[in-house]
Homo-oligomer: A and B are copies of this chain.
Amino acid sequence: MVGGGRDAFIGAVHRHAMALDGQYELVAGALSSSPDKARASGRDLGLNDARNHGSWQALLDDELKRPPEERIDVVSIVTPNHVHYDVARAFVDAGFHVVCDKPLVHTSAQADDLVARVAKQGTLFAVTYNYTGYPMVQQAREMVRAGAIGAVRKVIVEYHQGWLATQLEGGSNKQADWRTDPARSGIASAIGDIGSHAENLCASVTGLEIDSLCADLTSFVPGRRLDDDGNLLLRFTNGARGVLIASQIETGCENDIRLRVFGERGMLDWRQEDPNHLVHAPIDGPRSILTRGSPWLCESARRACRLPAGHPEAFIEAFANLYGGVASDIRARIATGVPASAEQADYPRIEDGARGVRFIEKTVASSASDRKWTPMR
């Protein structure tokens, strides 16, 4: 693991997710950009001193010195965004499998470069768009694919947060600090941090490609250097229309990401704060509430469940499903020498990460433009 030391948020989530199903063991790390903090954090977690490093470069050097059978199988990069590219590039070039948090990198140039390097190495590269790991998201995706709602006409994807409604940056809140700092977060905050999740959720479930978008980004909090609210109109290549909302200043909201997909024959509605349910309304009958763990779900959704219906699973379990997909792929590669199919090993790929970076760039460009529509390509 690179990053995720003391005071980090998402690093601990990655560790819970890895631990949950007993498929991962954390054996080495460089848990902070500060060497002392890195090593202290590693000791907190029981890392062996020999593999508890003060920098990611030291971690990589050490791994490469070890015989292959002792090396890590995969590295998790859970640092703030600006560190992703260098670390990911180095580990990919060294032939390691990588799990990287989102958004992938700061620029499409970096993203395209990484995509090419991964393709060249043939290694695994996962991006932790964790919301697609929820079983009911997988159920929604399968239902769209199977035509349960007919051709998609309209998508509404929303990500409502309120935690940045006041100026938290510049104080002791490390999370607020780096997310609102262009040097670390990149060119966007709300759209980068959570809008990219919304884009991925939409793409993952609907399979639609954005043709062009029209964005209005705002910084509401005085002194803030990046957007804290973004609203977009979307046009998809199949003619469907969409609305995407991502905000960090919507007071009273916690982590409310929701997707509604309207097809010619019905509708699907999923909300992350009530993740064990999926609403399906066919055009010609009453709406039904599908629940995680039910025997009538599709196979991929059922595989993504640990517990029967009524025994809720949540954020960490969904996150662990991504790690489970990565583990399946690594096992397949070890066992057979070839990657598992996307169906056997279900997790977001580097191409999803690269598309997300382009989405952020185009959104920022659109917001600055007087033209209504900014094409995605």
Residues of chain A having any CB pair with chain B under 8 Å: 9, 12-13, 15-16, 19-22, 45-46, 149, 153-154, 156, 161-163, 165-166, 214, 216, 218, 220, 229, 231-233, 235, 241-243, 245, 247, 249-256, 260, 262-267, 269, 272-276, 279-291, 293-294, 296, 306-317, 369-373
Contacts and interface: CB of A to CB of B under 8 A. Distances in A.
User: A19, A242, A262, A281: which has the most chain B beta carbons within 10 Å?
Assistant: A262
Given A249-B262, A251-B283, 5 more contacts: A12-B306, A154-B229, A251-B265, A311-B315, A316-B317
20 contacts: A22-B45, A154-B247, A154-B250, A165-B264, A214-B216, A214-B372, A216-B241, A232-B233, A250-B267, A251-B265, A252-B279, A252-B283, A273-B310, A273-B312, A285-B288, A287-B288, A288-B288, A313-B316, A369-B372, A371-B371
A281 B251 contact: yes
B249 A154 contact: yes
A88 to B, nearest CB: 25
Nearest to A245: B243
Contacts of A317: 314, 316
Q: 6 closest pairs, A vs B, by CB?
A: A252-B281, A254-B310, A255-B310, A252-B267, A314-B314, A312-B314
Copies in the complex: 4
A241 B231 contact: yes
A317 B13 CA distance: 12
A315 to B, nearest CB: 5
User: A45, A231, A313: which has the most chain B beta carbons within 10 Å?
Assistant: A231
B214 A267 contact: no
Contact of A233 (B214, B264, B291): B214
A232 B308 CA distance: 27
A291 B314 CA distance: 15
A287 B289 contact: yes
Contact of A229 (B16, B153, B251, B260): B153
Contacts of A289: 286-289
Contacts of A218: 241
Contact of A310 (B46, B256, B265): B256
A296 B284 CA distance: 8
Nearest to A255: B310
Contacts of A214: 214, 216, 233, 372
A123 to B, nearest CB: 26
Contact of A216 (B156, B235, B287, B308): B235
